[in-house]
Structure 1
């Protein structure tokens, strides 16, 4: 059995109009809209649902809305779904409707597995010229006016019992730990070979359950910047970024999300194999971000928020002291 990543997520929220505007600005495609729910998708067909809290069949949340109510993980075949069926059978909240199997994880989250609906996509991405390698020849790097997320790359939750929740994902879904905050957090990937993490479990100093953020993968750093500045122009609030995570190497930009907690654009995370040895880190601001811009970049001035707007002159075009 091999979990391939996230196939669908569902938020519970009451202000669907604001969520519609937010996720459209974020770069998702609206597939369906009813008075009760919105359905979006990313470039590769990963789905994002936003549903009213009283929608029939919506799983309960681990915290009051707005928050993430359900995560659906992907497998590649019916045979792998059968393997999940055997592993999950007998778990609390077990369900099986023929197309999806699932249960409730130890933190209270609705976890589902289905044969993936995502489609392969081939995208042109920026190539980086370094001192040693110069793959980009006679071609400028791209610039983006906005982002179009490729997929939902990972989810991050606050958990009450880190050990039990980690063991569930290891034993029932085959996840492996990539790196650790000992006793405080586990970065986990779906399989031995893959991106640095698909799931991050955090036990905060003051115990609680809830959503920390949902992360959307984009092509490259230039799309993180273009997407973030577009969101800024649309009036949405930056939590932190752009910046870079030292642990996963990913470049990021976080925004406040009307459907719950935060959302992140990110790119360029580490790729790991079974030869990787998990590392232990002490939580702290310099471990979270090698560098980051507080307040983001203003999409109009293209400078840090509240910084002086450009004058139209060259930087060197000023009188000598």
Structure 2
């Protein structure tokens, strides 16, 4: 038995209309909306729920302003729910219904489990050509005009006590450590075999609870670029990217999120098994990113709107004749 991944997240926000526009531009499908709630989903059915931050149905906020209020993790069966309910029963905020069980983690985040509602999706993904392996023959790489996220792949929190939070997710749900910043950060995955991390717990120099970012999985590096350029073109602000993480190997692009903190497109992260040996790192800029573009790609880049090539329709590297 193991947790399968993130099934749903809920934000408590200040401006529902602004957040609806953002997540529509981000590439999510709007399933329903009312004066008090919006429900979006990714390609595999992972849901993103938006409510006003003062909505009484939400768990208590662990920081001021718009932020994430709960993470719903998917499991396979009712037996799984019963197992994890037994482990959560003594935790703060414990509750149990026919569909969900939940509590608060040591950081104050609402944690819930349900039988997974996500669906399997089959997507066409082209290969990569390296010196030793040819994964793409007679097939050009794709060009994406926008991103369509597949799922919420991971969440990242600032925490008050990283060791307490790591122990909670390990002992309660069986999460596995992938890599660490000793006494400062813990990258954890849901099971021994899986993506590099589904949650990252980061204790800042002045420990506090808060949201760092929510990450959306896309197909490949090309969709990271295409999605990022589209969101930038629509007027949303880049925090950092595109770039690449040495830890996890993923390519990324981070944007500021009106629902709280940041959101990320990412692809091509490491896949790990029980044979993986966790590593230890000292946090720093070169550990966070091998390379990254501050402020994103500017308006003169190919396929961006309003660049000089938009009017001329010429190739970006074309030079004026002398």
Specify if TM > 0.5.
yes
For residues 135-146 of structure 1, what are the structure 2 equivalents within 5 Å?
135-146=135-146
- Distance (Å, rounded) in 1 between the aligned partners of 2:244 and 2:303: 16
For residues 31-110 of structure 1, what are the structure 2 equivalents within 5 Å?
31-110=31-110
With normalisation by structure 2, the TM-score equals: 0.95
Q: Structure 1: which 5+ residue stretches go unaligned?
A: none
Residues 75, 296 of structure 1: alpha-carbon distance in 2 compared, 3 angstrom cutoff: same
- Distance (Å, rounded) in 2 between the aligned partners of 1:20 and 1:317: 42
The CA RMSD measured in Å over matched residues stands at: 1.8
Deviation at 1:316, TM superposition (A): 6.8
- Distance (Å, rounded) in 2 between the aligned partners of 1:229 and 1:204: 31
- Distance (Å, rounded) in 2 between the aligned partners of 1:253 and 1:280: 25
Deviation at 1:253, TM superposition (A): 0.1
2:174 is aligned to 174
- Distance (Å, rounded) in 1 between the aligned partners of 2:79 and 2:5: 17
Secondary structure at 2:111's aligned position in 1?
strand
- Distance (Å, rounded) in 2 between the aligned partners of 1:28 and 1:41: 6
Which whole-Å deviations, capped at 9, do the CAs of 1:113-133 have from their partners, x for residues lacking one?
000000000001121011111
- Distance (Å, rounded) in 2 between the aligned partners of 1:54 and 1:129: 51
Runs of 4+ in 1 over 6 A off after TM superposition: none
- Distance (Å, rounded) in 2 between the aligned partners of 1:318 and 1:56: 62
1:302 is aligned to 301
Aligned residues of 1:295 and 1:304 also touching (Cα < 8 A) = no
Count of matched residue positions in the alignment of Structure 1 and Structure 2: 318
For residues 102-251 of structure 1, what are the structure 2 equivalents within 5 Å?
102-251=102-251
1:289 is aligned to 289
Aligned residues of 1:69 and 1:109 also touching (Cα < 8 A) = yes
Deviation at 1:65, TM superposition (A): 2.3
1:315 is aligned to 317
Aligned residues of 1:297 and 1:304 also touching (Cα < 8 A) = no
Deviation at 1:319, TM superposition (A): 6.8
Q: Structure 2: which 5+ residue stretches go unaligned?
A: none
- Distance (Å, rounded) in 1 between the aligned partners of 2:316 and 2:233: 24
